Amino acid sequence: MLNQRIRELRTARKLNQVELAKLLGVSKQSVSNWENDNIQPSIEMLIKIAKLFGVSTDYLLGLEDVDSIDVTDLPAGFIAHVRQLIEDFREK
């Protein structure tokens, strides 16, 4: 599950493995190994991945299926706009 979530989040952001590795400060091989389920990221790296993609560690680990968007520190007007965009997408 973790390997699939990392791959899905990476591709949704249109990042390749090299780009994700640079953002996380790891090698491309590390990202490849995570996505191929050869190794698991450390707890510290799991937290870093979650923060980068704005999801919870529970979501990454498959403990919850709800993908969330972190709107911390955004003004109320921006949050309302994001909510409206989401509703518009749901209607289409």
**Averaged in consecutive runs of 10 residues, what is the pLDDT profile of the chain (92 residues)?**
96 96 98 97 97 91 81 90 90 83
Contacts of 20 (CB under 8 A, 6+ apart): 10, 31
In whole angstroms, how far apart are CA 89 and each of 59, 60, 74, 80?
A: 22, 24, 21, 14
Question: In the prediction, which pLDDT does 8 show?
Answer: 95
pLDDT of residue 2: 96
CA distance 50 to 60: 7
- Residue whose tokens read 């490849």: 32
Out of 3.40.50.300, 1.10.260.40, 3.20.20.70, 1.10.10.10, which CATH number does the structure's domain 2-91 have? Answer: 1.10.260.40
- Per-residue model confidence (pLDDT) at position 70: 76
